[in-house]
Structure 1
Amino acid sequence: MGRANAAYYARLDPFADFVTAPEISQIFGEVLGAWCVVVLRSLPIPPGSPVRLVEAGPGRGTLMADMLRVFARLAPECLSGLSVHLIETSPRLREAQKVALAKCAVTVCWHDALSDVPSGPTILVANEFLDALPIRQFVRTGAGWQERFVQAGQWSLRECSDVPPEVTTRGAGIGDVVEISPVSAGFVRDVADRLCKTSGVALFIDYGTAASCVGESLQALRQGRPVSALVEAGTADVTAHVDFAAMARAAEAAGAVCCGPVGQGELLRALGAVQRAEALCRSAPEQAGMIRSGLDRLIGPDRMGRLFKALTVASPDVTVVPGFSEKIAGEQQ
């Protein structure tokens, strides 16, 4: 899955196959931009300290452009100490991001990995990033656990001697599949470790489950339509649901504090998405239908509002995380 998606993003335009929240409505990026402003102002650091605004998997750059526009409007004084860091390996997408951010008033740097981002207080946003990272699948058989691979375009089971404990403790029955993503958990753990060494907050938004469970979710899209996950590598976008409980455990193991997960709809409502939509409708009444339709796609319980979830990871010294309850993720299970 990892190599297939690397080839896919390098060769093709992924937005021909799916549309992410920032492309649906500017409201998404605007309310997250306001969220970043509040978080930045509440960080326990001296005023004017350098802050890294990081995005993992920034797509076309739409989300970051929308967030920076809000910074310029609401907190221009914060821009002097702000630098933008985009974690992106696709040359094709980097070019699109450069166009989208050409007029922004801050320094923008591109990196292949989180480890390349300079240390310092950090606000990180990752929207639909974790779902594209590699997974492992295990099948419980009558003879024990076996790992599932793709070989010559077909599923193949192999004996496995390193079955992680989190696989065996989920109560799977014979024939059940258990899916894990060590790469996703590793990325979240690295983010948490980074935040705990300085100060900061990370916000992860993706589609997935609030609790670790049994079952497979691997899927592929090509030209906007579902196709077999066994398609030729690099010709489709292959994703899997994010296990937010596992992500929270990884972050907490590194010493961070987690809030959530909450539904995307719940978060956006709490951050004022509905009010922002109405303000846009008043200023552009001829576009009111399109604005409300876009908002419904983002927050509707039968659309993205419930399936997509949000989790924050914060250093222990952070006290303000807008849009989330006081309980950390582990307390909500």
Structure 2
Amino acid sequence: MSLTDHLVARIRQDGPMSVADFMGECLLHPTLGYYTTRDPLGVAGDFTTAPEISQMFGELVGLCLAQSWMDQGRPAPFTLCELGPGRGTLMADILRATRSVPGFHEAAQVVLVEASPVLKQVQAATLKDYDAVWIATIADLPDQPLLLVANEFFDALPIRQFQRDGTGWRERLVGERDGGLTFGLGAIGPQVALNDRLSDTKDGDLVELCAAAIPILTVIAGRIASHGGAALIVDYGDWHSLGDTLQALQNHEHSDPLVSPGQADLTAHVDFEPLAVATRACGCRHTRLTPQGLFLERLGITARAQALSKALSGSELDALIAAHRRLTHPDEMGNLFKVMGLFPAYAAPPPGLEP
């Protein structure tokens, strides 16, 4: 049975499903889900993340976190955590870049939060030289200082979509027609979570909510507020959701989310505003939303690229130049991706970011 057949059968039995339920099935169905059945990254996969583009990204992220650790008195032990670690490339680069930081590796307990059994195996191979552990949910994090990075993690969390209709909202749903999947709208009703959006939307406007993000962010912010540390959330998105941002990516090309469920990556732009609100509610501070390109430039990516270029020539040099541009240029990932840092009320923000 294909995932389409499974979804159609479920809809015929239970009725149309929310976009959030649809995303959850597509990405994490135990036997037919996208993340549970494949390694989606790289040239042979469907998309490429910043750590896979260049080692410079992970190196600078690692040194940023290490500086926060030093600024807060070098606490030991502490948790060094990544959410959704992909192939483990980012964590490997973080650990390599921080080897020369006195006491950092000795104090660090490396923890990875990963749902995909396929990617867990890849991560284990990548990080075979390190004593890393895997946990199923972020609630299992130790009660101690936390240094965390979430790169392209929140964009994969399921969202619900609501279209404004007068002073009410219709939820966008996934239904069935002639054996296939189709979008439709539910009945008009109030949405308490969207009361504040009646002032900045009009009829027909679509707003997205990611309820799954708040419990995760609350755990992160709570650990940092209570025990110290810092977190870097790096993702594409902006402040204040507006419009349909659900997208499917297959073979590095955009596709219809309903056409090949389970065969394409599904993501949505991150609305950083509710993440910031949840951070403050936990007694933790957050930085201004900063474009990825500006963040990396502040951390010295150009100087790092120049240093690496001295040993390169020909196609290798061209690849380095292209990687630097892709990570930082406004027309590439530089403006689309944003960075928000979390830090305790008594501490300085992570380097490269402003409170």
TM-score, length of structure 1 as denominator length: 0.92
Residue aligning to 1:8: 34
Q: Distance in 1 between matches of 2:203 and 2:125?
A: 52
Task: Show structure 1 runs of 5+ residues with no match.
Answer: 328-333
Task: Check conservation: 1:39, 1:321, Cα contact below 8 A.
Answer: yes
Aligned mate of 1:71, from 94, 98, 101? 98
Distance apart, 1:13 and its partner CA: 2.1
Residue aligning to 1:125: 149
Point out 4+ residue stretches in structure 1 off by more than 6 angstroms.
Answer: none
Matched, 1:205 2:234: yes
**DSSP 3-state at the match of 1:290:** helix
Task: Check conservation: 1:33, 1:67, Cα contact below 8 A.
Answer: yes
Decide which moves more: 247-256 or 227-236: 227-236
Decide which moves more: 164-173 or 186-195: 164-173
Q: 1:176-212 CA deviation, whole Å, 9 max, x = no partner?
A: 1111211123321221112112111110000001x21
CA shift in 2, pair 1:170/1:267, >3 Å: farther
Task: Check conservation: 2:34, 2:265, Cα contact below 8 A.
Answer: yes
State the one-letter code of the partner of 2:293. G
CA shift in 2, pair 1:247/1:320, >3 Å: closer
**DSSP 3-state at the match of 2:319:** helix
Decide which moves more: 284-293 or 219-228: 284-293
Aligned mate of 1:151, from 175, 196, 200? 175
**DSSP 3-state at the match of 2:330:** coil
TM-score, length of structure 2 as denominator length: 0.86
Alignment of 1:172-251 (within 5 A): 172-209=201-238, 211-251=239-279
State the one-letter code of the partner of 2:309. C
Q: 1:48-82 CA deviation, whole Å, 9 max, x = no partner?
A: 6101000001000000000100111x314221111
Distance apart, 1:303 and its partner CA: 0.2
Matched, 1:49 2:76: yes
**DSSP 3-state at the match of 1:231:** coil
Residue aligning to 1:331: none
Aligned mate of 2:339, from 310, 315, 319? 310
Decide which moves more: 142-151 or 5-14: 142-151
Residue aligning to 1:62: 89
Aligned mate of 1:32, from 61, 64, 85? 61
CA shift in 2, pair 1:154/1:283, >3 Å: same
Distance apart, 1:161 and its partner CA: 4.5
Distance apart, 1:263 and its partner CA: 0.2
Q: Distance in 2 between matches of 1:102 and 1:76?
A: 22
Q: Distance in 2 between matches of 1:143 and 1:25?
A: 48
Task: Check conservation: 2:218, 2:282, Cα contact below 8 A.
Answer: yes
Q: Output the aligned Cα RMSD.
A: 1.6
Q: Distance in 1 between matches of 2:245 and 2:307?
A: 38
State the one-letter code of the partner of 1:285. S
Q: Distance in 2 between matches of 1:297 and 1:251?
A: 30
**DSSP 3-state at the match of 2:289:** strand
**DSSP 3-state at the match of 2:326:** helix
Distance apart, 1:144 and its partner CA: 2.8
Q: Distance in 2 between matches of 1:199 and 1:298?
A: 29
State the one-letter code of the partner of 1:284. L
State the one-letter code of the partner of 2:206. V
Aligned pair count reads: 320
Residue aligning to 1:82: 108
Q: Distance in 2 between matches of 1:247 and 1:163?
A: 18
**DSSP 3-state at the match of 1:266:** helix
Task: Quote the sequence identity (%).
Answer: 38
Distance apart, 1:320 and its partner CA: 4.2
Residue aligning to 2:119: 93
Q: Distance in 2 between matches of 1:164 and 1:289?
A: 48
